[in-house]
Chains A and B, each alone.
Chain A
Amino acid sequence: SQTIHQWPATLVQPVGSPLSLECTVEGTSNPNLYWYRQAAGRGLQLLFYSVGIGQISSEVPQNLSASRPQDRQFILSSKKLLLSDSGFYLCAWSQGASSGNTIYFGEGSWLTVV
């Protein structure tokens, strides 16, 4: 069966420091991968998605970037964190190229920028 893991689960970072959140999927190949952020009162916002190694699409302009160095690895990064980057970040995956495929989420990572 497929599993998805992301880490770290929680982190507290000072403003201006770098960020790296990692996500891996097991039990499948060539998944679509996503980074979402949960903002208060706005549900889940799609930040990035990837349909293959090195292929990243950004949905919203922001201070963050994403990379996919391996088929089942997805990384969310920032060079300099802002206070507004605080939130709950979720990695997710789906199988297949078209809609009609459910997306499955990891455990989430709480980021507090201080």
Chain B
Amino acid sequence: DQQVKQNSPSLSVQEGRISILNCDYTNSMFDYFLWYKKYPAEGPTFLISISSIKDKNEDGRFTVFLNKSAKHLSLHIVPSQPGDSAVYFCAASVTDSWGKFQFGAGTQVVVTP
């Protein structure tokens, strides 16, 4: 039972434009969310987090939005750069769950010149 879903397996965006990655979850108990970036044959790198007490968190070119009522979060990358080409995972956890995160299947982002 996949509790975190990334329904778009791939996304192509032009350099300089905005990339929008989406993530849906089914467990209303989730209250902490992460986004990771992963290059092939490497471990995921942490990008940005958001807790359920917020609806937006920003870090440089990356902004995460959380819509609790819709059980939906999104990651915006502005402007997109060639180095952003990677697989992006969203992850969710419940407070006091010892950091056990449920991951989505990932979205492959390709930034074209």
Binding site for B on A (CB under 8 A): 32, 34, 36, 41-46, 49, 51, 59, 88, 90, 92, 94, 96-108, 110
B residues lining the A interface (CB < 8 Å): 2, 4, 6, 31-32, 34, 36, 41-46, 49, 51, 89, 91, 93-106
> Is B32 in contact with A100, judged by CB distance below 8 angstroms?
yes
Number of A-B contacts (CB under 8 A): 72
On whether the beta carbons of A34 and B99 are closer than 8 Å, the reply is yes
Cβ-defined partner of A102 (8 Å) among B4, B34, B98? B34
Determine if A42 and B2 form an interchain contact, defined as CB atoms under 8 angstroms apart. yes
With both beta carbons as reference points, the residue of chain B lying nearest to A4 in the complex is identified as B43
Complex: chain A residue closest to B89, CB-CB? A43
**Which one of A42, A88, A99, A107 contacts B97 once the chains associate, using CB atoms below 8 Å?**
A99
Within the complex, which residue of B6, B51, B98 is in contact with A49, where a contact is CB–CB below 8 Å?
Answer: B98
Do residues A107 and B43 form an inter-chain contact, with CB atoms below 8 A? Answer: yes
- Nearest CB of A to B58, in Å: 16
- Give CA–CA (A100, B59) in the complex, Å: 17
Q: A97-B98, A98-B96 are in contact. Are A42 and B41 (CB under 8 A)?
A: no
